[in-house]
């Protein structure tokens, strides 16, 4: 059988990987087996109006409501619901201490505006002058983000928008989160981690973590003073923001591999705490996926590669900042190009059965060889069939 692919993204990393497998490129109106689509294309394809029905030999790279984790407000809503549900069940994972969750405390204190405005004000008054970061829910690449440390600044922003606060935020929702003001620094600069996570199924949950992620650095040394509150080169690690910074090119495109980060931390903080940190990162990824699993419209034709953005504070505690449903496939350096080609190659090896022909009737259990640089985060199918799940990464922590 001839395998055909279609893509509406002009990315050589997608096309070259498909062609390397002998797949033939076709248009969206033709018969295709693999579609690497943008989120809007996927949404229209799954809409009731389209009436499109996929056959058993077709797969696509997004779930119908992938945004349950990638929209900032829905991510917060789903994680809060997940905690409440576990509390109702009396699950020890939802245990609290000093009003904080002991095990599920991996997102900063966050409110959705305008709905949670009064709750935000109440929380803000507990620690006046603390810094908060405000982000539009539906935008990406650092667009529309700003920091505040006074309630008056939020009100002033509302006035300057020329519409009343409530009306302005009804048009575009925002999340406001406690700013992580003690980030771990390297060379005096703030950074975050971009980690790729592949989900081939939500029910049962099957997820894989790519080993070859990277750190994205700010181009200006970190400064928490009020004077630098509006300097996004100090606070935002987004490549789209930092590429305009002065020292961007001297930092290898503003990036460092996670392997090098691990070596740096082992030499400066010790191997034990470094291992614990990376276990906690896997832990938070697993539970963020478990939080959305019940609400995702699962479809055997779908898979998803999410880009997780994680910040580590100075106590080596990881915090989930956001999740991207369409992480950038653009290469800014030679190493970047190699990494993304390998990422794409490994994704196709996992989501396509050993026969090389997409088939939704397949059990979606790839061979060890097919995993490449991915490792199993969680596979509920395998767990059910394995009495001692120590063979899975992180043992049984996620159970």
Q: Is residue 103 part of a domain?
A: no
Q: Three-state SS string across 341-376, please?
A: HHHHHHHHHHHCCCCCCCCCCCCCCCCHHHHCCEEE
Same domain, 156 and 209: no
Looking up tokens 């040394």 gives 221
212: in domain: yes
pLDDT digits (tens, 9 = 90+) for 242-275: 444 555 444 444 678 999 999 999 999 999 999 9
Shared domain for 14 and 121, answered yes or no, is no
> What's the half-sphere exposure (Cβ side, CA atoms, 13 Å) at 180?
23
Instruction: Answer whether the bond into residue 114 is a cis peptide, omega within 30°.
Output: yes
Quote the pTM value: 0.88
Note whether 196 and 276 are same-domain residues: yes
The predicted pLDDT at position 146 comes to 82
According to DSSP, the residues that pair with 59 across neighbouring strands are: 34
91 part of a folded domain: no
Considering the domain architecture, whether residues 291 and 317 belong to the same structural domain is answered as yes
Same domain? For 161 and 195 the reply is: no
Same domain, 350 and 260: yes
For residue 229, count other CB atoms closer than 10 A to its CB.
18
CA distances from 302 to 60, 63, 202, 297 (A): 5, 5, 10, 10
Mode of pairing for the β-strands spanning 214-217 and 255-257: antiparallel
Q: Looking at the structure, tell me whether residues 383 and 310 fall in a common domain.
A: yes
264 found inside a domain: yes
Q: How many beta carbons lie within 10 A of that of residue 62, not counting itself?
A: 26
pLDDT, tens digit (0-9, with 9 covering 90-100), for 128-155:
878 898 888 876 655 678 888 888 878 7
Do residues 133 and 321 lie in contact, with contact meaning Cβ atoms separated by under 8 Å?
no
For residue 313, give the CATH number of its domain. 3.30.470.20
pLDDT of residue 303: 97
pLDDT in tens, 143-197: 678 888 888 878 776 666 544 554 544 456 889 999 898 999 998 888 999 999 9
383/399 Cα distance (integer angstroms): 9
Q: Does residue 327 lie in a domain region?
A: yes
Indicate whether 261 belongs to any domain.
Answer: yes
Question: Residue 385: what pLDDT?
Answer: 63
**What angle is formed at CA 135 by the lines to CA 223 and CA 121, rounded to 5 degrees?**
85
Please say whether the beta carbons of 375 and 208 come within 8 A: yes
State residue 254's pLDDT score.
Answer: 63
Q: What angle do CA 290, 295, 299 make, to 5 degrees?
A: 95
pLDDT in tens, the chain (399 residues): 799 999 988 778 999 999 999 999 999 999 999 999 998 898 888 887 877 889 999 999 999 999 999 999 999 999 999 999 999 999 999 898 877 888 899 999 999 888 888 898 899 989 887 889 888 887 665 567 888 888 887 877 666 654 455 454 445 688 999 989 899 999 888 899 999 999 999 999 999 999 999 998 887 887 776 545 555 545 565 554 444 455 544 444 467 899 999 999 999 999 999 999 999 999 999 999 999 999 999 899 999 999 999 999 999 999 999 999 989 888 878 888 899 999 999 999 999 999 999 999 999 999 999 999 999 999 998 876 654 444 444 434 333
Sheet holding 4-7, edge to edge: 24-25, 4-7, 34-36, 59-60
Containing domain of residue 139, as a range? 109-179
Q: Which two tokens stand for residue 109?
A: 């204190």
Domain closes at, from 135, 150, 179:
179
In degrees and rounded to multiples of 5, residue 245 shows phi and psi of -80, 155
How many independent structural domains does the chain possess?
Answer: 3
Task: With respect to residue 241, please indicate whether it lies within any of the assigned structural domains.
Answer: yes
How many CB atoms lie under 10 A from the CB of residue 8?
A: 14
The span from the CA of 286 to the CA of 205, in Å, is: 9
- Report if residue 81 sits inside a domain: no
pLDDT at 216: 86
Interatomic CA distance for residues 135 and 193, integer angstroms = 19
Query: Where among 129, 153, 179 does a domain terminate?
Result: 179
Cα-Cα-Cα-Cα dihedral of 281, 287, 289, 291, to 10°?
A: -150
Quick one: 320 and 380 in the same domain?
yes
């Amino acid at each position: 059988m001839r395998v055909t692919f279609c893509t509406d993204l002009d990315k050589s990393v997608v096309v070259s990987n498909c062609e390397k497998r002998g797949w033939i490129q076709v248009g969206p109106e033709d018969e295709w087996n693999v579609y690497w689509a943008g989120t809007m294309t996927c949404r229209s394809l799954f809409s009731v109006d389209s009436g499109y029905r996929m056959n058993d030999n077709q797969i696509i790279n997004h779930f119908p409501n992938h945004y349950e984790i990638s929209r900032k407000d829905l991510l917060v809503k789903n994680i809060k619901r997940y905690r409440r549900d576990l509390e109702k069940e009396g699950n020890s994972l939802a245990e609290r201490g000093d009003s904080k969750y002991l095990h599920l405390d991996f997102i900063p204190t966050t409110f959705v505006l305008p709905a949670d405005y009064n709750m935000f004000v109440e929380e803000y008054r507990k620690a006046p002058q603390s810094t908060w970061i405000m982000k539009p829910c539906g935008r990406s690449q650092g667009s529309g983000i700003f920091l505040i440390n006074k309630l008056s600044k939020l009100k002033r922003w509302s006035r300057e928008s020329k519409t009343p606060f409530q009306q302005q935020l009804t048009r575009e929702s925002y999340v406001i989160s406690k700013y992580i003001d003690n980030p771990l620094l390297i060379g005096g600069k703030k950074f975050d981690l971009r980690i790729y996570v592949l989900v081939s199924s939500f029910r049962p949950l099957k997820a894989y973590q790519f080993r070859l992620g990277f750190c994205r650095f700010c181009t200006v040394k970190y400064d928490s003073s009020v004077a630098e509150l509006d300097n996004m080169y100090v606070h935002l690690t987004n490549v789209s923001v930092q590429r305009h910074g002065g020292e961007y090119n001297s930092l290898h495109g503003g990036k460092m591999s996670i392997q090098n980060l691990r070596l740096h931390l082992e030499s400066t903080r010790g191997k034990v705490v470094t291992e614990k940190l990376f276990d906690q990162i896997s832990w938070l990824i697993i539970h963020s996926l478990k939080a959305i699993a019940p609400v995702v419209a699962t479809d055997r034709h779908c898979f998803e590669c999410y880009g997780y953005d994680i910040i580590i504070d100075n106590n080596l505690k990881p915090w989930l900042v956001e999740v991207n449903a369409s992480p950038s496939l653009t290469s800014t350096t030679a190493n970047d190009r190699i990494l993304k080609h390998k990422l794409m190659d490994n994704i196709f090896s996992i989501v396509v059965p050993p026969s090389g022909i997409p088939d939704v009737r397949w059990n979606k259990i790839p061979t060890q060889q097919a995993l490449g640089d991915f490792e199993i985060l969680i596979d509920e199918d395998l767990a059910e069939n394995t009495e001692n799940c120590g063979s899975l990464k992180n043992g049984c922590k996620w159970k």
